[in-house]
Amino acid sequence: MKNSFKFAFLGLALTVAFASCGGAETKTNATADSAAALVDSAATVLDSAANKVDSAAAKVDSAAAKVDSAVTKK
Segment 19-73, tens digit of pLDDT: 776 655 556 677 777 888 888 888 888 888 888 999 999 999 999 999 988 888 7
68 in a domain, yes or no? yes
Q: Residue 38's pLDDT is what?
A: 83
Query: What is the number of structural domains in the chain?
Result: 1
6 in a domain, yes or no? no
DSSP 3-32: HHHHHHHHHHHHHHHHHHTTTTT---HHHH
Indicate yes or no: pTM above 0.85. no
15 in a domain, yes or no? no
71 in a domain, yes or no? yes
Can you give the residue range of the structural domain that contains 71?
A: 28-74
45 in a domain, yes or no? yes
Q: In terms of pLDDT, which residue wins out, 41 or 6?
A: 41
Q: In terms of pLDDT, which residue wins out, 1 or 11?
A: 11
Q: What letter would DSSP give residue 1?
A: -
Q: In terms of pLDDT, which residue wins out, 13 or 63?
A: 63
2 in a domain, yes or no? no
